[in-house]
Structure 1
Amino acid sequence: MATSKAKRSAAAKKAARTRKRNAAAKTAKRSAAARRRKRSTGGKKKGGAKRKAPKRKGGAKRKAPKRKGGAKKRKR
């Protein structure tokens, strides 16, 4: 490879930037499509596994003190 190390790293940086930009664009496109889908369906939304999981996690965290006697008293 004849190019200097600096030039090579600059090229790598540029490539990384492009990759990042492309990835961001892709995610934006995905979310926009999801929004469009949501809007078009209207009414009650069926929560997929993706939407349900975080909720369940939060519930578990909130429910834990109930099982532990001390935590329940501390909370109030």
Structure 2
Amino acid sequence: MGKGDRRTRRGKTYRGSYGNSRLHSAQPAVVGTKDTVTKPAAAKKAAAPKKKSA
């Protein structure tokens, strides 16, 4: 239950191996690869003319 234990995460880290306790992704995630979605500009309605008060 420590550095020498091959079944725990600490043991895997110590030995430098990977497995169920210390998974190793095949491809490292690259920051900033996701496409950004831009919303179309909202169409502005024509403002109704203000009524003049007497």
Instruction: Give me the TM-score of the superposition, normalised by structure 1.
Output: 0.25
Instruction: Give me the TM-score of the superposition, normalised by structure 2.
Output: 0.30
Q: Which has the higher contact order (CA 8 A, sep 6+)?
A: 2
CA radius of gyration, larger in: 2
Structure in which a larger fraction of residues adopt helix: 1
